[in-house]
Structure 1
Amino acid sequence: AEARDIRGRHWACCLTPAPWPSFSSSPAWPSWLQPQRGGSHFCGGSLISENWVVTAAHCSVSTTDKVVAGEFNLNSDEDNIQVLSIAKVFKNKSYNSFTISNDITLLKLATPARFQNNVSPVCLPSAHEDFPSGTPAVTTGWGKTKYYALRVADKLQQAALPLLSNDECKQFWDSKIKDTMICAGASGVSSCMGDSGGPLVILKNGAWNLVGIVSWGSSVCSTSTPAVYARVAELLPWIEETLANN
């Protein structure tokens, strides 16, 4: 699980996770980034190589939007950020805006991201890989910290939460849960508005693996109800086909 940047240096995909950051210091999530529209944050995403970003289809990213990599504090000019143009958008053709299934889009960057301490790729799981219920996971984003908040967070936030099996998740969401979805939470924390497209990761063999993409959940960001993510392992064949053909 390595990527090579344009200087030829090898970068392993987040093989040495930093401690959970205090939000007065630099972040420990160098694969996390944000598409921007009109200079404002509206969704999240993850670098899977120097040329490709994965995000949610429902974010409706276009080539007129920008990708910002390496940001931590939205109100600071001190972050060593990269503002990247998007060459092409590949929305999964099976995405269903009614059921929110297959909620994944790939963005091909116009110029490669430069890997450095605060910008690096996340690992992908194996196709159809299963993750046991209760597996500890982490999600990150600039979304609202409370449903009634008037704006998104200034600094990149993180929440540790357990994975649920789809059978467990159906106890909350019934038949809305499809095979291309994975659930996490109902544990006192949740993703919320503004987190869409961002990562749900687990630590496996010393590396952060992307298991989910923030998709949908409680309309009031309930922390006792699981949030729902696009299941990357089920969507991996589409990811690999898209990368191979483009």
Structure 2
Amino acid sequence: MYSTYRRALLAALVSALIPLSASAAPAVTSPPADLVVPLIIGGEDAEPGQYPFMVSLQRLRRGDSDHLRHSCGATLISPSWVLTAAHCVDDVGAKDLAAATRLHTLDTTPRRRASNVKAIHVHPAYDPSTLVNDVALIRLKRPVANAETADVLLKNDGVYLRPGRTFTVTGWGVTDMNADALPTVLQTVQVPFVPFKECSEAYPDLQKGTAICAGAEGIDSCQGDSGGPLMVQRKGRWTVLGTVSWGEGCALPGLPGVYARLSTGYVRDFIQATWTGD
């Protein structure tokens, strides 16, 4: 459990590093490369309006612009509800968090942003030492007008978990492991599915059925992408199968990204019991 525990410690600490931009000073020493927790590597700029359900979680005490305040990704799943990772919000109060919607570019210009979060629901069985059940739901104070949402797949996801399948991941995480700046434009990347047997060779403590593994050398999510969606196109709709959770390093050979699986029993039950819809 040693490596898993160390990754979990970083999950709690990495958000303090994320707000740095190229103009921020002084510089902060990056964590060791093998301890980085969800950046999109190997991706490209998304088109404006391509992923209208993407949400930037903003820690309001961190800076004076959306770019500096960005901490994690999230997904608008109904006008009043946002899906993200538990490790993104388990240490923050509703009044100190905002869910910024309809963003493509994170503005670097100073601007005030107030909290629009009514409540944060972290999975009751979330384990910060292993990042099992790394899922949370955020309820907004008011529904997003004319919301464009993504679907969530809470059962029968096995048809998508096959060799050769690729998933789409989006986020504002850093695009270079050696960089200390987040991009301003939303990034998107196609990550290949990694079967459990292969993934468990990299992560022997991984619990079967609780996660989806995806990524390859040079293609991965990473620091700043936590909480964002792992998704496919299903019946003409973007459909979320998991949330960006953790990984050992980013885009390294033999070390795929790990995503909290929404269809696993405890996670599915939590979402169904908590999410009231609109």
2:166 pairs with 1:136: yes
**When the two structures are superposed, what TM-score results if normalisation uses the length of structure 2?**
0.72
Aligned residue for 2:274, secondary structure, equals helix
Q: Secondary structure at the match of 1:44?
A: strand
Give yes or no for contact 2:250–2:257 (8 Å, CA) kept in 1. Answer: no
Q: What's the counterpart of residue 84 of structure 2?
A: 55
Query: What is the CA–CA distance in structure 2 between the aligned matches of 1:243 and 1:189, rounded to whole Å?
Result: 32
The aligned counterpart of 1:170 is: 200
Structure 2, unaligned stretches of length 5 or more?
1-42
Displacement of 1:223: 5.8
* Match in the other structure for 2:17: none
What do residues 108-133 of structure 1 show as CA deviations (whole Å, max 9, x unaligned)? 10000122xxx511111132532322
1:188 equivalenced with 2:218 (yes/no): yes
Alpha-carbon deviation of 1:189? 0.5
Classify 1:232/1:83 alpha carbon distance in 2 versus 1 (closer, same or farther; 3 Å): farther
What is the alpha-carbon distance in structure 1 between the residues aligned to residue 223 and residue 269 of structure 2?
28
Give the aligned residue type for 2:273: E
Instruction: Report how far residue 236 of structure 1 moved.
Output: 2.1
**Paired AA for residue 66 in structure 1:** A
CA contact (8 A) 1:136 1:162 kept: yes
Q: Does 1:122 align with 2:144?
A: no
The aligned runs of 1:181-220 (5 Å cut-off) are: 181-220=211-250
Higher mean displacement: 37-46 or 159-168: 159-168
Note if contact 2:220-2:250 (Cα within 8 Å) is conserved in structure 1: no
Q: Higher strand share goes to which structure?
A: 1
User: 1:16 maps to which residue?
Assistant: none
Per the alignment, residue 26 of structure 1 pairs with: 48
SS at match of 1:48: strand
Quick one: structure 1 residues 240 and 24, their matched pair in 2 at CA, closer, same or farther if it must change by over 3 Å? closer
More helix by share: 2
Aligned to 2:103: 71
Structure 1 residue 48: deviation in Å?
0.8
Alignment of 1:90-129 (within 5 A): 90-115=121-146, 119-127=147-155, 129=157
User: In the alignment, does 2:59 pair up with 1:37?
Assistant: yes
1:172 to partner: Cα distance: 1.5
Work out the percentage of aligned pairs sharing the same amino acid.
Answer: 31
Cα separation, partners in 2 of 1:171 and 1:99, compared to 1, 3 Å: same
CA deviation map 1:76-129 (0-9, x unaligned): 67xxxx9761101110010000110000010010000122xxx51111113253
Larger RCO of the pair (alpha carbons < 8 Å, separation 6+): 2
Q: Moved runs in structure 1, 4+ residues, more than 6 A?
A: none
Cα distance in 2 for residues equivalent to 1:244 and 1:229: 24
How far 1:24 sits from its partner (Å)? Answer: 8.1
Contact 2:78–2:277 (8 Å) recurs in 1: no
Residues 154 and 241 of structure 2 are in contact (CA less than 8 Å); yes or no, is this contact kept in structure 1?
no
- Given the superposition, is the C-alpha separation of residues 243 and 190 from structure 1 closer, same or farther in structure 2, using an over 3 Å criterion? same
Return the TM-score normalized by structure 1: 0.81
What is the rounded CA distance, in whole Å, between the counterparts of 2:74 and 2:209 in structure 1? 21
Cα deviation digits, residues 186-234 of structure 1 (max 9, x gap): 2531111000001110112222110110000023552652100110122
Q: Judging changes above 3 Å, is the alpha-carbon distance between structure 1 residues 155 and 244 closer, same or farther for their aligned structure 2 residues?
A: closer
Matches of 2:253 and 2:175 in 1, distance apart? 11
Paired with 2:250 and 2:44, the residues of 1 have a C-alpha distance of 26
Q: Choose the corresponding residue for 2:271, options 229, 232, 239.
A: 239
